[in-house]
A and B are shown apart, each in its own frame.
Chain A
């Protein structure tokens, strides 16, 4: 009998894909175990873009932490802002006015379009279709220009505010956006002409990364990634926030749960977003854009004018009779103009005083008085003037000013408790979980980022396919590493 000697044995090859690979959407690192061209095992490594946003949120007030959410999913920053604001509003127990809700719905859907366009562009580019990439960016630029018109920034918008939006939309914005929604469906057809039936596109997407409905739920998928498997789960429908319960739209779902179905889902979502924007523009009501909740929003600037207007030459004076000498103003004064011992009346050195009103904001005993037009007067004269009652407009403005200083320095105080609020961002379910200890800063801020959970599904989608299909799988789950690593 012939005996064959075993001269060599094969083992799986270990390959690093990323973090510098252009198709890994940023800095995702995948360690692939491959047998020839077939994937045996995938291990995603995340954290290259970790900036500690959750921890940073604990050291910033609820108001200040808003720009952090821009930097999570920078592709659809607006949706992230809205998600944060909706969550914090629920924590505070306030509600944005009707007009603000409609504006937020409009900009949120714009961000969905912008996100899906960038997804389509990069996904198609990864798979090999260059022209779609250029066409998608053409429309995305349009949306970013519209963003610039309303809030002055294109990418990191910081447009919504807790209890409303930053400023009202101008008329040109509505006109230009309407023109966009008129033209956009024909642009979607253009992308579809290029890739929808293209044989290369079909070969790269049909039957790749198939996941059944049950498994997709078990893996925690949300958004279009889940809907591609045929589950019509959409937070906009199931737990409507903003104005989604006042507009009519469908939730497109797929059947097979492969890469092509998820692509079709997102293409149909583009059309639905377009439809939502058109309805919202038509229905946009007149009214306030900020909630009437004085403790939780910035104070109106013009209400403070009688005190803060630069033409007013006010002086600040401490009444000896009222001052208890608690030392609050002494510590608050940035110029160190206030002197005095504990439990004895304090005194303001008028030569050093900046007239900045910091002391006014902290005085609990109303011992600090504004002396209208008293700048540069002598001490005796000030004492005389301070005894006179103040005009009503100044008293009112002072109240606003004190509220404003307290808001900025301490942050809006949330009631104690914990809460989880989820919103539908283009990538899936973005959840914010707050634990509040009653102060102006969250005790704990946890973000449920869809990208992180989808990145965890990669091994399930890739195993058994070829190396080139990993790129298609990364594209199809639509991850942004800024959000994944936070």
Chain B
């Protein structure tokens, strides 16, 4: 055993170094947030609760082609049609895995995933989303221009993705 190791062993130097670090961190800002009072920033395009999109006339864009129900890996979308209209559009939220494939498969841009993630409830019926609830989600979470912006950014793929768009993120800083 070298002198250095003996000194290390009897002075507890590595323990004190660690404790000094924790002491230093005591005076830095807290990284935690107090959840119900504070909320974290939700990035746009967050894959939360669903909404059925409305067109400018205020009607549902959905025509009922059923592609979302076909591609859904957990088969949680149920659609029924009657008399040239979408009679029933239901999403079993408890089955949904939030992959966002329904948004990608829809050729009509009729379904979106909103930023709402707080919808726990005591009753199962309240979590089973019916058509009018899904439509009201659109007014609630995608008001004004927000809906349009969502489709521009997160309804993918677009032709841009198969070619080179004029504005693309690249590293602009100094190269090392």
Interface size class of A (residues with CB under 8 A): 35 or more
Cross-chain contact B157 with A298 (CB below 8 angstroms): yes
Cross-chain contact B153 with A167 (CB below 8 angstroms): yes
Cross-chain contact A335 with B22 (CB below 8 angstroms): no
Cross-chain contact A354 with B109 (CB below 8 angstroms): no
Cross-chain contact A335 with B81 (CB below 8 angstroms): yes
| Residues in B neighbouring A60, C-beta threshold 8 A | 73
Cross-chain contact A193 with B175 (CB below 8 angstroms): no
Cα(A298)–Cα(B159), bound, Å: 11
| Residues in A neighbouring B107, C-beta threshold 8 A | 301, 304, 308, 357, 401, 404-405
Cα(A299)–Cα(B15), bound, Å: 59
| Residues in A neighbouring B104, C-beta threshold 8 A | 166, 298
Tell me, yes or no, whether B2 is within 8 Å of chain A by CB: no
Tell me, yes or no, whether A148 is within 8 Å of chain B by CB: yes
Cα(A408)–Cα(B154), bound, Å: 18
| Residues in B neighbouring A72, C-beta threshold 8 A | none
Cross-chain contact B169 with A167 (CB below 8 angstroms): no
Cα(A198)–Cα(B8), bound, Å: 11
| Residues in B neighbouring A458, C-beta threshold 8 A | none
Tell me, yes or no, whether B122 is within 8 Å of chain A by CB: no
| Residues in B neighbouring A288, C-beta threshold 8 A | 161-164
Tell me, yes or no, whether B65 is within 8 Å of chain A by CB: yes
Q: Digit string of B48-79 for contact with A (CB within 8 Å is 1, else 0)?
A: 00000001000001011111001101000001
| Residues in B neighbouring A141, C-beta threshold 8 A | 31
Cross-chain contact A131 with B47 (CB below 8 angstroms): no
Closest chain B residue to A195 by CB distance? B18
Cross-chain contact B66 with A358 (CB below 8 angstroms): yes
Residues in B lying within 8 Å of A, measured CB to CB? 8-9, 14-15, 17-18, 21-22, 25, 31, 42-43, 45-47, 55, 61, 63-67, 70-71, 73, 79, 81, 83-86, 97-101, 104-105, 107-109, 113, 153-165, 168-171, 173, 175-176
Cross-chain contact A193 with B43 (CB below 8 angstroms): no
Residues in A lying within 8 Å of B, measured CB to CB? 60, 63-68, 70-71, 99, 131, 135, 138, 141, 145, 148-149, 151-153, 156, 158, 164, 166-171, 173-174, 178, 190, 193-199, 278, 281-282, 284-290, 292, 297-304, 308, 310-311, 334-335, 337, 351-358, 401, 404-405, 408-409
CB distance from B115 to the nearest CB of A (A): 9
Cross-chain contact B63 with A356 (CB below 8 angstroms): yes
Cross-chain contact B71 with A408 (CB below 8 angstroms): yes
Instruction: Supply 20 A–B pairs (Cβ within 8 Å), ascending by A.
Output: A64-B71, A65-B73, A131-B22, A148-B46, A169-B169, A278-B176, A281-B171, A284-B171, A286-B170, A292-B162, A298-B157, A300-B158, A308-B108, A311-B55, A337-B84, A354-B63, A354-B85, A358-B65, A405-B67, A408-B105
Cross-chain contact A354 with B73 (CB below 8 angstroms): no
Cross-chain contact A164 with B161 (CB below 8 angstroms): yes
Cross-chain contact B83 with A351 (CB below 8 angstroms): yes
Main secondary structure of the interface of B (DSSP, over half): loop
Most central of B18, B83, B100, B158 by chain A CB within 10 Å: B18
Closest chain B residue to A358 by CB distance? B65
Cα(A359)–Cα(B67), bound, Å: 13
Q: With A152-B47, A301-B157 given, is the CB distance from A138 to B31 under 8 Å?
A: yes
Cα(A447)–Cα(B168), bound, Å: 36
| Residues in B neighbouring A282, C-beta threshold 8 A | 171, 175-176
Cross-chain contact B168 with A290 (CB below 8 angstroms): no
| Residues in B neighbouring A304, C-beta threshold 8 A | 107
Cross-chain contact B43 with A148 (CB below 8 angstroms): yes
Cross-chain contact A310 with B108 (CB below 8 angstroms): yes
Q: With A67-B73, A131-B22, A168-B169 given, is the CB distance from A355 to B164 under 8 Å?
A: no
Cross-chain contact A355 with B63 (CB below 8 angstroms): yes
Most central of B43, B79, B164, B173 by chain A CB within 10 Å: B43
CB distance from A142 to the nearest CB of B (A): 9
